[in-house]
Amino acid sequence: MSEHNTDKGDARVERARAEIRAQAATLRERPLLERAASPASQPSGSRVDPARLAYRIGELTDAHHQAFVDQAFQALLKRAPSPAESDAQLALLAAGATKAEVLGNLRWSPEGRAVGARVAGLAPRYAMAKLRRVPLLGYLVDIPLNLAALPALARHQRASDAMVAAGTAQAARNLAAQAEATSRDLALARQRLDDLHAFAHELNVARDDLARQFNEVDSQLRSRIHALEDANGAVAGRFDEFEFIRQRFYAINHWMHHLTESFARIEGAATQGDHERRREAWPVAQACIEADAARSARNAVWADALRALSTPGALLFTGACGADWVASIAAQDLRVVFADADAPLAAIERTDRIDVEAVDTFEGLRRSADAGLDGAAFLAMSNLLRARPLLDWLRETRRALKPGAPLLLADAREPGAIVDVLTKSQPRAAADLPSWTPSLFAAAGFADAQRIDAADGTPAWLMQRGAA
């Protein structure tokens, strides 16, 4: 395969090459075709075979005039004569030279010698013809030869006369036939000319029609272009409007962003202020608790109640209560998770039994896994219910408790609740625990709800998470 074709790398050519190779492999298996006559045949009408190198002189002298010259060149020089060569040989014949002399001249020319064709009988005839060209000697040789040939010449003359007469008659017939054919051709040519005129007319009509169609198309295209330009202008106007709106949108977005940042700063400042106030109020709340004489007995009762429903080492969740309650639970051989936003203020230390999360109590409960707690206790329900309704607390607590785990709900005065009272201007809404009923808790998924109010009258409910 050629590297150049490969370099060009065209897949189609390469595929064609492969197919040609395959085709070539089967070509010789095809049946042999019968050779047809081709229009490429030699136009000279020569009867001699130019491929041969040996001839008889009679083969070459049969033809006359132009045909003789063409045949002589094909046989002896293996080519056609040029117009000048042909004219020269015809002039020689017209001057009385014999055909043998013309043949001899060609055969023994340098070109003829190179070809080397053999013509039997040509050499003595050519020699005699040349001898006749020698002054005086040629004349002396010519006379007796011609005298001896007189009878043959006379026969040849008579034959020539007959042939000329026949030729003349034939030529006249040919001329008449030719004239008739010419007049037919002329009529045909006139007919063709008329046809051409008609065709030219049709072409003109078609051209005019085409030009008209072009003009229409041109006009339509121009109107389309105008319409497109108008539409383009309108679209450009709309784009301007969109751009205006886009700019306004960006400006509003910018303002909103700054507004949000400002609100965040205000909120942060408020939160910070709230924290400051709660920090200031915390010692007061602590002092109130320490002044509550019934607190320790109350916490002990509730801790015992929870312990009774729990196994040693159980995990109990609580929040919104004081550090003493967490300590009392831990003392019951229970583990405690204390979640309260005020955890830093409560200063409850982490131990192997106490885990502290400084987050909102409800958020701490929400972070607990499903059925991950063994119990829960919320002592300041009035305070917790201000952040979330009771239903949320019951639903989230039920999700986090294991089946049968205890839940304690009370409404005691815990530090966070006291701080709320001290720092917030709104009146504290008390949780109305005494009005709650076991059926309410049962509907929320808790069983065995019972009042375990403290001795000082602080209301409290103890219940267990239902199994379902």
Partner 1 sequence: MRIAIFVAVLGERDAVGTDAREMAAALSRCGHDVRVFATSGRDAEPPEALDEVIADPQAVLIYHFAFGWPPGVDVLRRARCRRIVRYHNVTPPEFFAPWSDEYERSCRAGRDEIATIAKLGCELYLCDSPFNAEDFFAAGVPHERVAVLAPFNRLDRLLETPAALPVLDECSRGATWLAVGRLAPNKAHLDLFDAFACYLDRVEADARLLVVGSEDARLERYNAALRERIHALRLESHIRWLRDVDEGMLKAAYLVADALVSLSRHEGFCVPLAEAMALGVPVVALDAGAQAWTLGGAGLLWDSADPALVAASVERLRADPALRSELRERGFARVASEFAPQRLERRLADVIEAL
Q: Rounded CA gap, 398 and 380, in Å?
A: 18
- What's the closest the beta carbon of residue 91 comes to partner 1, in angstroms? 22
Q: Rounded CA gap, 405 and 464, in Å?
A: 5
Identified binder of partner 1 from the candidate list 96, 116, 312, 457, rule CB under 8 A:
116
The reply on whether position 114 binds partner 1 by CB under 8 A is yes
Considering only 3-11, 193-201, 230-238, 321-329, which stretch makes contact with partner 1 by CB under 8 A? 3-11
Question: Which residues 361-380 are close enough to bind partner 1 by CB under 8 A?
Answer: none
Identified binder of partner 1 from the candidate list 18, 23, 211, 451, rule CB under 8 A:
23
The reply on whether position 24 binds partner 1 by CB under 8 A is yes
Considering only 72-80, 172-180, 320-328, 451-459, which stretch makes contact with partner 1 by CB under 8 A? 72-80
CB 413 within 8 A of CB 437: no
Identified binder of partner 1 from the candidate list 18, 20, 143, 186, rule CB under 8 A:
20
Positive/negative CA dihedral, 32, 38, 43, 46: positive
The reply on whether position 83 binds partner 1 by CB under 8 A is no
The reply on whether position 84 binds partner 1 by CB under 8 A is no
The reply on whether position 36 binds partner 1 by CB under 8 A is yes
- What's the closest the beta carbon of residue 203 comes to partner 1, in angstroms? 23
**Nearer CB in complex with partner 1: 36/468:** 36
- What's the closest the beta carbon of residue 7 comes to partner 1, in angstroms? 7
Contact letters (x/-) for partner 1, 129-168, by CB under 8 A? ----------------------------------------
Q: Rounded CA gap, 390 and 288, in Å?
A: 27
The reply on whether position 213 binds partner 1 by CB under 8 A is no
Q: Rounded CA gap, 341 and 363, in Å?
A: 10
**Nearer CB in complex with partner 1: 78/277:** 78
The reply on whether position 78 binds partner 1 by CB under 8 A is yes
Identified binder of partner 1 from the candidate list 2, 425, 426, 435, rule CB under 8 A:
2
Identified binder of partner 1 from the candidate list 45, 47, 49, 228, rule CB under 8 A:
49
Q: Rounded CA gap, 20 and 15, in Å?
A: 9
The reply on whether position 47 binds partner 1 by CB under 8 A is no
**Nearer CB in complex with partner 1: 14/396:** 14
- What's the closest the beta carbon of residue 20 comes to partner 1, in angstroms? 5
Which position has the token pair 């969740």?
317
The reply on whether position 81 binds partner 1 by CB under 8 A is no
- What's the closest the beta carbon of residue 19 comes to partner 1, in angstroms? 7
Strand 446-451 relative to strand 460-465, pairing = antiparallel
Considering only 111-119, 150-158, 344-352, 384-392, which stretch makes contact with partner 1 by CB under 8 A? 111-119
The reply on whether position 118 binds partner 1 by CB under 8 A is no
3-state secondary structure 410-459: EECCCHHHHHHHHHCCCCCCCCCHHHCCHHHHHHCCEEEEEECCCCCCCC
Strand 315-319 relative to strand 375-378, pairing = parallel
The reply on whether position 10 binds partner 1 by CB under 8 A is yes
**Nearer CB in complex with partner 1: 39/96:** 39
- The count of residues interacting with partner 1 (CB under 8 A) is 45
Query: C-alpha angle 133/138/143, rounded to 5°?
Result: 125
Question: By C-alpha distance, which of 122, 114, 126 is closest to 79?
Answer: 114
The reply on whether position 51 binds partner 1 by CB under 8 A is yes
Q: Which parts of this chain interact with partner 1 (CB under 8 A)? A: 1-5, 7-8, 10, 12-13, 16-17, 19-21, 23-25, 27-28, 30, 32-42, 49-51, 53, 78-80, 82, 110-111, 114-116
